[in-house]
Amino acid sequence: DTGVSQDPRHKITKRGQNVTFRCDPISEHNRLYWYRQTLGQGPEFLTYFQNEAQLEKSRLLSDRFSAERPKGSFSTLEIQRTEQGDSAMYLCASSAQGAYNQPQHFGDGTRLSIL
Amino acid sequence: DAKTTQPNSMESNEEEPVHLPCNHSTISGTDYIHWYRQLPSQGPEYVIHGLTSNVNNRMASLAIAEDRKSSTLILHRATLRDAAVYYCILRTLYNFNKFYFGSGTKLNVKP
């Protein structure tokens, strides 16, 4: 079990630039989640995939945000025209198919800083 | 979102037991109680979960009140590595893929 992997761990960019983050879930997990966490707060749900299908999106996910999971394996989260308020930790998690009490396994996140 | 209430912070001495409380008065019959913790600069880590009965694993124990409106995460012997933010989360049947974390309890462990 290699765990959930996220890349990069840190990203610094100028306001207005586009950024893309990658998440590699645990290999046998078909469910994948993205969260955003700002300083001092708990993670906030952004979106959820089952295999390649994006089944739920939070209202936090504005039209500048897009997430994909093209082959049901890794996922990418892209933010276009970044704003100061996008500075946060972006966390990815995965879980196995099964009962609704399956735990989610988290990566260590990508910290985004907007200059 | 199903809500939980936790103290903002708690303090413990190393090698002593720690009881972290969580109130969830609006819990429904099919809601699972999950606990996660987040160490500094890391993603959340699953700790334990339960439905009605008390649960034990290698990390902790979960004690669930008979009316299920509250629960307590028990760390039997706190170590410095247990210093983290602990989140109590309700996993609902109708919205089970969407976790609501809240602000959690920041646990400080004194040597």
Q: pLDDT digit string (tens) for A15-32?
A: 999 999 999 999 989 999
A115–chain B nearest CA distance, Å:
21
8 Å CB contact between A88 and A37: yes
Q: Is any Cβ of chain A less than 8 angstroms from the Cβ of B42?
A: yes
Residues of A with CB under 8 A from a CB of B: 4, 31, 33, 35, 40-45, 48, 55-56, 58, 91, 93, 100-101, 103-109
Q: Which of B34, B38, B97 to mutate to test the interface with A (most CBs of A within 10 A)?
A: B97
Pick the closest to residue A90 from A27, A6, A2, A3 (CA basis): A6
Please, is B23 exposed, middle or buried when counting C-beta atoms within 10 Å of its C-beta (0-12, 13-18, 19+)? Answer: middle
pLDDT tens for each residue of B45-99:
999 999 999 999 999 999 999 999 999 999 999 999 999 999 999 988 777 777 8
Contact flag B103-A41 (C-beta cutoff 8 Å) = yes
A1 or B68, which is more confident? B68
Checking if the pLDDT of B1 tops 60, the result is: no
The reported pLDDT for the residue numbered A115 is 92
Taking only the tens place, the pLDDT of each residue in B9-31 is 999 999 999 999 999 999 988 89
**Among all residues of chain B, which has the CA nearest to that of A39?**
B103
Q: Rounded to a whole number, what is the distance in Å from the CA of A46 to chain B's nearest CA?
A: 9
Those residues whose C-beta lies under 8 Å from the C-beta of residue B16, and which sit 6 or more positions away, are: B77, B78
How far, in Å, CA of A109 to CA of A23, rounded? 9
CB pair distance less than 8 Å for A93 and B87: no
Which amino acid, residue A67?
A
CA distance, residue A95 to nearest chain B CA (Å): 9
B2 touches chain A (CB under 8 A): no
Instruction: Give the mean pLDDT of A83-102.
Output: 90
B10 touches chain A (CB under 8 A): no
Q: What is the mean pLDDT of residues A70-85?
A: 95
Q: What is the average pLDDT score of chain B?
A: 93
Are A45 and B100 inside 8 Å of each other by CB?
yes
Task: Identify all chain B residues contacting A103, using CB atoms and an 8 Å cutoff.
Answer: 34, 46, 49
pLDDT in tens, A24-74: 999 989 999 999 999 989 999 999 999 999 998 888 888 999 999 998 899
Strand order in the sheet with B55-56: B18-23, B70-75, B61-64, B55-56
